[in-house]
A and B are shown apart, each in its own frame.
Chain A
Amino acid sequence: MATAEHSTPASDSDSEGTTTTTRAITVNRPLEELYAFWRDVGNLPKFMENIQSIEVLDERRSRWTVAAPGGTEVTWTSVIVEDEPDRLIAWRSEEGADIDNAGRIEFLAAPGGRGTQIRAEISYDPPSGAIGKLVAKLFQREPAIQTRRELRRFKQLMETGEISTAEPPDAAPRD
């Protein structure tokens, strides 16, 4: 495998309207380190752009908060439903969340000691109601875009210790 990303993003909607995105990315770090970082779900807002905070409630449950326009917040509880150390983590939102979502991330040692292959599968239902529409605006329109950008930021953070940016004021200001 000579390239770091070996799968193009894909999104599919099933008959119930759930959108599922899968994407693979190779991270040049040991599998154990990546699993441990992801399993400590409080770390996730470091590279997930839209998540303001994640409060760990217990071994499996955590409270996710998304900042919404007008100073409001949207929160839901996420539960880890599968957890195999150094292998995979899967989670889903509890019943009644404003935005039903689920995720699954698998870790696999890349051949020849070339780091870790990660395969992510993220799905969520299009939200309904006023608050749902607000949340939908926050989550970018195309879930595949959101997933691939988050995976790139995760890789940047794990490999380099920082997340690449060219944001102003480093670039000239724009209208």
Chain B
Amino acid sequence: MRALTWQGKHDVRVETVPDPRIVNPRDAILKVTSTAICGSDLHLYDKVIPTLQAGDVLGHEFMGEVVEVGPANESLKVGDRVVVPFVIACGKCFFCDRQQFSACDNSNPADKADMSEKLYGYPMSGLFGYSHLTGGYAGGQAEYVRVPYSDVGPIRVPDGVDDDKVLFLSDILPTGWMAAENCEIETGDTVAVWGCGPVGLFAVQSAFLLGAERVIAVDHHPRRLDLAADFGAEVLNYEECDVHDAVKDMTGGIGPDACIDAVGLESHGMAIDNVYDHVKTTTMLATDRIHALRQVILACRKGGRVSIPGVYGGFADKFPIGALMEKGLTIRSGQTHVQKYLPKLLELVLEDKVDTTSMISHRMPLEEAAEGYRLFKEQQNECTKVVLKPH
């Protein structure tokens, strides 16, 4: 089959690789009909997440048609049309029992789990196409993909609904939703969202659906800010204003009740601390640049909530622990427990309560995936989301 493979920093290629097959009894094989490039794939493209190997198949946002099911899979059948969560979860462990699916204890293979146990104290779950830290599973930017524990994750979608409308149930819609849920929004709340990539845009929509009175969105790409404004946010371009002063002013000096960092570890920005981070990162003294997160923590009101859906992988320098403690902030974070949110979110999508398609700027065949990565990396204003069609 054809698949998008990682070869090295800024080098991804569509190549012919062996077809996947059923390995375990609860597996399924999917013929991929649509797959997207995620902002977090750019962390792999930029080689800031370690443990990738040349030839790894990327892609964790995908959907398709079931073409084969393992003997112990009692919930899927050939021909089912499903969207697959990017988090692989067994459905049977302590964490899955508590719907903390991204903490699944079993989906990261025993030999791969050593790395994240060493880094984080405990091994993390498996993810599709996202380095060997998270299992080394082949991803879905391919014609076919093996889905382990496929009786737990995939959700069936009705015929007659476009792929583009439901594809983002795989990651970015539930990620934006959980980011907003983690804000524990109360009546009258103002929520500020840093980063208007797809996750930030879904966080904006989710915050309103969960009862926010106002949403303030921060970015520097005019096109992305326009999209946020279309969803009802008041927008701030950080190249044109001092964000901290602006959000304070907009909230009558109190500050936002909740702040979302939808930027993550490759935070851009002009401030002096970011230049410092860049020097430290390139000299391997620290791994994560946290300019956005610092601003989030400083901007959040006293006693407020900070939600971090943005991806971080390692260590951060100059973390404002004083502001966190003295203001009594609550921080909630984590890879998304996708499986927990799917039924509710599918319902919202089918009822047209969430706009899932206007952020898609590019649709292209899988064969052009390398160009898709380049565009998404280099033209972030125009290129807001790339959807690939493998067949």
Contact = CB atoms under 8 A, between A and B. Distances in A.
A169 B117 CA distance: 26
B313 interface: no
B20 A164 contact: no
A3 B95 CA distance: 9
Given A148-B114, A165-B109, A170 B21 contact: yes
Interface string A33-74: 000000000000000000000000000000000000000000
A153 interface: yes
Interface stretch (B130-138, B179-187, B215-223, B316-324): B130-138
Given A161-B25, A170-B137, A149 B111 contact: yes
A95 to B, nearest CB: 32
Contacts of A173: 17-18, 55
B122 interface: yes
B84 to A, nearest CB: 14
Interface of B is mostly: loop
B17 A172 contact: yes
Given A114-B94, A160-B90, A164-B126, A170 B20 contact: yes
B136 A166 contact: yes
Interface residues of A, number: 31
B126 A166 contact: yes
A172 B135 contact: no
Interface in B120-150: 122-123, 126, 135-138, 146, 148-149
Interface residues of B, number: 46
Contacts of B123: 5, 152
A4 B105 contact: yes
Nearest to A3: B122
B110 A149 contact: yes
Contacts of B261: none
A171 interface: yes
A168 interface: yes
B179 to A, nearest CB: 23
Given A148-B114, A165-B23, A159 B135 contact: no
A167 interface: yes
A164 B107 contact: yes
B94 A26 contact: yes
Interface in A1-55: 3-5, 26, 28
A162 interface: yes
5 contacts: A160-B91, A161-B72, A164-B90, A164-B126, A165-B23
Given A148-B117, A161-B25, A162-B72, 20 more contacts: A145-B114, A149-B110, A149-B111, A152-B106, A152-B123, A159-B92, A159-B93, A159-B105, A161-B26, A164-B24, A164-B106, A164-B110, A164-B126, A168-B18, A169-B18, A169-B19, A169-B20, A169-B21, A171-B55, A172-B3
